[in-house]
Each structure stands twice: as structure tokens, then as C-alpha cells.
């Protein structure tokens, strides 16, 4: 198990090899991979190469099968949405969730409660833009409300202006 986690985070080649294995894995093999990464989601999500493995879990599987990913990130949504690596995971979750995915809804509600803080961040604004485009209505409203309260300043911000354009 430790070997597989190290493989995911070692380098581009080993991470990509694991992603290819994931694409061809049986249900039983995927269940083994889920157990290996379940307690190390935050660590892998913040690894330069490991985050691609977590993104691949989200991309390949229905939200119900990978509900352990957002569940393990609850309480860390704000920090995840601010960073180069974490924002990728948050954006993938936004792309693949629905109102029925309660774990993802909870994490993303946490993220979007901090919208005013992330709008003008180098990576945070990508989360807000993705939320505007693909989020559920309640999350879109949270983003719109954050923009509207200070729209003139947001329109002039280096990164927040991109979000204002999308709105």
C-alpha cells in the first residue's frame, strides 16, 4: 500500500503509470486503490504528482463511489481552493457533482462561503469561475452574491475581473 502511494507522488512517469492502471482496473482493483488512498487524500491532493491521481479518481468514477474524497477534505476547503494543486481537485469536484452528492455539496459550500477571499487569488479565481459555469444553483448564487456586494472593486481586480466577466 505504501508503495502505491509513493508511486502516485514520486514523479510524473510513476503517477501517469498509476493513472493508466486506474483506467483499466477492475471493480475489485479500484476498491483496493480507494482503500489505499482514502486516508491519504489530503496528502495526495497536495502532492505535485499525486493530485493527478486524485483527479483521475474523480474523473473515472461516479460521485457516490468517490464520496470519500470530498468527505476527507471537509474543513480544508478554504485552503484547497487557494492553492495551485488544491484548486484542481476542487474544480474536478465541481465538474462532476450534483445536488445529491451531499459530501461534495458540503465541501463546496465551505469553499463558496469563502468566495470573497478567493475571488482575487491567483488560483482561487479558477474555483469561482468553474463554480459559476458548472456549480449547482445555490453555489452559483453564493458566488454571484459575493461579486455583487463589491462589483466595482471586483471588476478592477487582477484575478477577480475574470470572474466578473464570467458572471
pLDDT in tens, 75-106: 999 999 999 999 999 999 999 999 999 999 99
The pLDDT tens digits of the residues spanning 135-147 come to: 999 999 999 999 9
d(CA 156, CA 67): 38
d(CA 105, CA 87): 16
Mean per-residue pLDDT, 139-161: 92
| DSSP, residue by residue, 141-162 | HHHHHHHHTTHHHHHHSTTHHH
| 3-class state of residue 114 by DSSP | coil
Mean per-residue pLDDT, 108-115: 94
Q: What's residue 166's pLDDT?
A: 83
Q: What's residue 3's pLDDT?
A: 87
Confidence of residue 67 (pLDDT cuts 50, 70, 90): very high
| 3-class state of residue 67 by DSSP | coil
Confidence of residue 46 (pLDDT cuts 50, 70, 90): very high
| pTM over the 0.85 mark | yes
Cell of 164: 466578473
Contact 129, 144 (CB under 8 A): no
C-alpha distances in angstroms, 15 versus 33, 61, 102, 160, 166? 13, 18, 29, 33, 33
d(CA 45, CA 55): 8
pLDDT at 1 over 80: no
Amino acid at each position: 500500500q505504501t508503495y502505491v502511494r509513493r508511486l502516485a507522488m514520486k514523479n510524473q512517469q510513476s503517477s501517469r503509470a498509476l493513472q493508466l492502471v486506474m483506467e483499466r482496473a477492475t471493480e475489485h482493483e479500484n476498491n483496493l486503490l480507494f482503500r489505499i488512498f482514502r486516508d491519504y487524500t489530503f496528502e495526495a491532493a497536495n502532492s505535485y504528482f499525486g493530485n493527478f491521481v486524485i483527479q483521475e479518481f474523480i474523473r473515472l468514477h461516479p460521485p457516490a463511489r468517490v464520496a470519500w474524497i470530498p468527505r476527507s477534505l471537509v474543513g480544508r476547503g478554504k485552503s484547497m481552493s487557494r492553492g495551485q494543486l488544491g484548486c484542481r481537485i476542487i474544480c474536478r469536484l465541481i465538474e462532476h457533482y450534483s445536488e445529491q452528492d451531499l459530501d461534495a455539496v458540503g465541501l463546496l459550500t465551505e469553499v463558496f462561503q469563502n468566495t470573497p477571499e478567493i475571488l482575487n487569488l491567483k488560483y482561487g479565481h479558477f474555483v469561482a469561475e468553474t463554480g459559476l459555469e458548472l456549480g449547482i444553483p445555490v453555489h452559483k448564487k453564493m458566488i454571484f452574491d459575493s461579486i455583487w456586494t463589491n462589483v466595482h472593486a471586483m471588476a478592477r481586480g487582477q484575478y477577480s475581473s475574470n470572474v466578473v466577466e464570467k458572471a
